[in-house]
Structure 1
Amino acid sequence: MSKLLAVLILLLSPVMALGAGGSAIPLQKSKIDLYDQESLQRGAQYFVDYCMGCHSLEFMRYSRLADDLGIDEADLRENLLRGGAEPGDMMTIAMRPDDAEAWFGMAVPDLTLVTRWRSPDWVYTFLKSFYVDPSRPYGVNNALFQDVGMPHMLGGLQGTQRGVYKTTMVDGEEHKTIQGVELVEAGVLSPQAYDQMVRDLTAFLTYAGEPIILERRQLGIYVLLFLGLFFVVAYLLKKEYWKDVH
């Protein structure tokens, strides 16, 4: 049994490392509610307003989003469509990969599957973990994703944070390790309001990664109920067939 456990740990350790983002700071629980349609609607608006200048959702269609989240066409056109996009279009952006690589040093990733790749808790923690770092090109770093090559687009809303470090001595030299962040100057939003905004955005990205998820969960309940009923029928039938034998 101990050998089997050791093998499982070895097999799962790369997956766990990926989910943790390779960082020493712990992930915070996002506590998203995919049944909260208003939260998903707000998250969609936040994504279009703050993220879609650089990041696409190239596997998501505007019309699918509107149908799933209860957004009528008038609101869709007024609030979410940008740059002449139509409801039937995919949520792509005008930025070319070559331009992104020249400006940011790398191609900007599409975010359709980011919560399936990283996890909702990772995305939620990442959006709360930017801190001032003058050594970086945009003046900020991220405690969860060190040396990330992007600005903090929500910085004006969250405010200014500084890094919290742990200092250790190695061979007589001080080494600092990032342990977290703390708010030093409030932004437009209160910490509670910013947390809710990030939670809404994380919920929307989780939905975008698997739009069928709510329907699949509902279908799963029906399947379990059917299997439970079928088990009772099968058990009674078995007793009837085998009553003369037993």
Structure 2
Amino acid sequence: MRKMLARLAVIGTASLTLALALLAAPAYADENFPLDRAPDNADNFASLQHGAKLFVNYCLNCHSANLMRYSALTSLGISPQEIQTNLLFTTDKIGNTMSVAMKPDDAKAWFGTAPPDLSVEARARGRDWLYTYLRSFYRDDTRPTGWNNLVYENVSMPHVLWQLQGQRTAKFDDVIDERSGETVHKFVGYQQITPGTLSPVDYDSDVADLVSYLSWMSEPTQQTRHRLGVWVLLFLGVLSFFAWRLNAAYWKDIK
């Protein structure tokens, strides 16, 4: 029994160490472009409401969210009347899913590929990836849409938020890679061409709100799950204490 408990303790310690190491590790994009940490606005209803508005106004024209109904937005403190007035298109009803009228064949002809459904995109890509991606567009006249992205090179999606951020180009320098000795194209910064309607700080804040909403939409019950998780861990902690004391009482007279 003592050997088993000791073994379980070692396994638990190793698992906790691994989990902490993964959390502390820096996040990176597909190759070597570093990802920025997305602000955590999961408990900020004002941020989530603003993110929902941005999603409907800028994303829902091309991307669907077929696993989400407009009525679920009431969980964010948005009243049915506000949803009806501000977030629904003319033909939509509050019980409908967030679908788009654009046909996949038309989207593929216009963009080269059909825009993905965004219902669980935050879980698939990660909040940091989305936050960095939406802030990494730049003008590129060689692309069919006129836009490119540092996180997702040669992406088919245009920069739908360009009026908010403005137009900018990316500056690259040719440098020699220390490992391979080959000349590589290294990103060194942006150059603003035209200003946007928002300052850089305000634009980053809007993107954080949008990403927070996408994260909430991918799992609307995540806050409830987190709260239940805390209570479960507390229960297991108390149960472990009593199990430890019971084990000590059982073995105290056995030599």
What TM-score range do you get, normalising by the shorter chain?
A: 0.7 to 0.9
**Contact 1:32–1:202 (8 Å) recurs in 2:** no
Choose the corresponding residue for 2:226, options 193, 199, 217: 217
For the pair 1:54 / 2:58, whether they are aligned, the reply is no
| Corresponding position of 1:192 | 201
**Contact 1:43–1:202 (8 Å) recurs in 2:** yes
Partner Cα separation in structure 2 for residue 231 and residue 162 of structure 1: 58
The share of aligned pairs that are identical, in percent, is 42
Segment drifting more, 228-237 vs 122-131: 228-237
Output the amino acid matched with 2:101: A
TM-score normalised per structure 2: 0.82
Output the amino acid matched with 1:151: P
| Corresponding position of 1:102 | 109
For residues 67-112 of structure 1, what are the alpha-carbon distances to aligned partners after superposition, in whole Å with 9 as ceiling and x for unaligned?
x211111111111112422222111111111111111111111111
| Corresponding position of 2:6 | none
| Corresponding position of 2:35 | 27
| Corresponding position of 1:160 | 167
Partner Cα separation in structure 2 for residue 86 and residue 225 of structure 1: 43
Partner of 1:141: helix, strand, or coil? strand
* Runs of 4 or more above 6 Å deviation: none
| Aligned pairs (5 A) from 1:109-120 | 109-120=116-127
| Corresponding position of 2:158 | 151
| Corresponding position of 2:11 | none
**Contact 1:25–1:179 (8 Å) recurs in 2:** no
Partner Cα separation in structure 2 for residue 109 and residue 94 of structure 1: 14
TM-score normalised per structure 1: 0.84
| Corresponding position of 1:129 | 136
- How many aligned positions are there? 226
Partner of 2:42: helix, strand, or coil? coil
Deviation at 1:29, TM superposition (A): 1.1
Deviation at 1:180, TM superposition (A): 4.7
| Corresponding position of 2:192 | 183
Partner of 2:175: helix, strand, or coil? strand
Deviation at 1:118, TM superposition (A): 1.3
User: Bigger relative contact order, structure 1 or 2, given CA contacts below 8 A and separation 6+?
Assistant: 1
For residues 149-173 of structure 1, what are the alpha-carbon distances to aligned partners after superposition, in whole Å with 9 as ceiling and x for unaligned?
1221110110121102121369xx9
Deviation at 1:22, TM superposition (A): 2.2
Deviation at 1:206, TM superposition (A): 0.8
Partner Cα separation in structure 2 for residue 103 and residue 77 of structure 1: 31
Partner Cα separation in structure 2 for residue 60 and residue 180 of structure 1: 37
| CA distance 1:174–1:227, change in 2 (3 Å) | closer
For residues 200-245 of structure 1, what are the alpha-carbon distances to aligned partners after superposition, in whole Å with 9 as ceiling and x for unaligned?
0000111111112111111110001101111222223333333332
Partner Cα separation in structure 2 for residue 182 and residue 69 of structure 1: 38
Partner of 1:58: helix, strand, or coil? strand
Deviation at 1:50, TM superposition (A): 0.7
| Corresponding position of 1:5 | none
Choose the corresponding residue for 1:85, options 78, 88, 92: 92
Deviation at 1:184, TM superposition (A): 4.0
Partner of 1:165: helix, strand, or coil? strand
Which sections of structure 1, spanning at least 5 residues, go unmatched? Answer: 1-15
Segment drifting more, 215-224 vs 85-94: 85-94
For the pair 1:65 / 2:73, whether they are aligned, the reply is yes
Segment drifting more, 135-144 vs 217-226: 135-144
